Structure 1
Amino acid sequence: MSLQQENKAIPQEAFDWYDAYAHGGMDRRTFMTKLTGLVALGYSMSFLTSSLLPNYALAEQISFNDPDITAIYETFPSPHGHGEGKGYLVVPNALTQNETTQKKAPVVLVIHENRGLNPYVKDVARRLAKAGFIAFAPDALFPLGGYPGNDDEGRAMQRSLERSKIEHDFVAAAEFIKAHELSNGKLGAVGFCFGGYMVNYLAAVDSDLIDAGVPFYGTPAAKELRKNIEAPLLIQLGELDERVNATWPGYEEDLKANNVSYEMHMYKNANHGFHNDSTGRFDKDNAELAWSRTIAFFNAKLA
């Protein structure tokens, strides 16, 4: 295959197939069969899979040993969930460098997609700490041994867990990290895909739990819970994400009816997962804009 053929843009239908596959609407065999159909059109299978499936070596923007941050793992009690949870805690070193004057900072809960705490989400936590926030990224798969190192297995593991117990685990994580000794008492939450849903859920299940939420391409909480939302929300959506976007009109109607402060940004020509820099869905310009808005929003709401 020529270089010109190899560099052809991936057709949108391939991204749609991947979205269906990643969210349980299509099994792997069907997904790969559909990709095989594109080979006849001049695409190589290796190009398609390397573009659509994650390569986490691409996702590190902030090293775990960056001198400005300290990253460790912490466990927390989750009596209504799986009994105990575990997460990736990243703290700005500036908070602890002066022992005589202990500083406080806002805390942000970082919530992964539907496959466990993968390297991309851990890097997002480090980015937040680099920006001055205490970041905590729990792993929903901790009861099963944690993120297994590949997304296919991670998705299957997360599907095997009871959804309500996962939700309780994230509520417990929010309560745990909000009470951190260096916390200023303000808690934000940012999440992606399933994590976007969890941000919406945390805002709705307890109006006092989070102080600001940024759901990236996440579906809303159950309709009966939405009346509880009081935290301001920054909603981040990709224009090509038909599945999630179909839920937005009804969600917006409820936010308006309950006088919730919200902003919604629809990113042009962006797919579901456009912020994830480990896959071909990544849209650099839109991701950077969305992230700059996220940091500005947390700085404004959590100070």
Structure 2
Amino acid sequence: MNVALLDRLPSPVRAQLHDRRIELPPIAALVEADEDEPVLLVGSYASGEANPTSDLDLLVLTKRRRRRRRPGTTNHPSIFGDSFDGQVGDLPVNIEYVSQERLHDIAQVLAAAAETGGVDLPNLQGLELRLVQRVHGGIALAGADELSRLRAGLDLDTVRSAATALAFVGTLSLLEDTTVLTGPTRELMCRGAAESLLVSAVNAFGPVTHDGKHLVSRAARISALPDVPLVFAHAERLLFSDRLPLDEAREFILDLAQELFRSFADPRCPSRVTGMLDPFVPTWSWTGRGF
């Protein structure tokens, strides 16, 4: 990759690299991209959430598949493409290559859901949510026009709606498991339900979040906003609710879930959450709550 493209890194990122005495040419040497392929800064450095252990993450949206391994890097391929890990000084660098066909596949799923008026719930899993989040939240270093075209096919409102709804459905499903299972599996299900509820809340009021890495810090930032659901104020107790007596934990999670469900009508939330959840509401009669 042309090292000049790294001059487009945000100034705070360049300042961080400079402070760590990280040179740009060795980073550019790890990346192989065609001239017309978008290259993005993604991950923690793009979102401003980097810490001293964070990788510098770069994403290349490829138009053709070919071997791109650079000397000194290790690969962990997936169904979405190739991901190479390298090292520049004390900085881990990750370069991910994902075919634009994968984005088109996700776009088709979203389009099919839109045809139903937003009632169908796209079953977007972690890797798919991660990819969409990176494409929409990444900072273009190359191929900005092509990136804009690709982003247009990934309706972020539908993605956030699906991420919110899927996590909420997961909360109630895992919590129902606690009514029939025994420990320690029961406690694991309780913990999973609590985390899923916080993921649902963050997706509703914040950025697309697919795992626990930035969950607590994002929830803390949202808690400072006016008139947000109580789940944010009680995030720490929620995440450790499996340490409470089971009946108390279950009622605590259900109280927060019921309030969050009502808050999905808030205009700050993605618009299709309630419609995607409607088919599931009858299955929650076991809670005795009015969802």
Given the two structures, how large is their TM-score scaled by the length of structure 1? 0.25
Q: Higher strand share goes to which structure? A: 1
Given the two structures, how large is their TM-score scaled by the length of structure 2? 0.26
Q: Which one has the largest radius of gyration?
A: 2
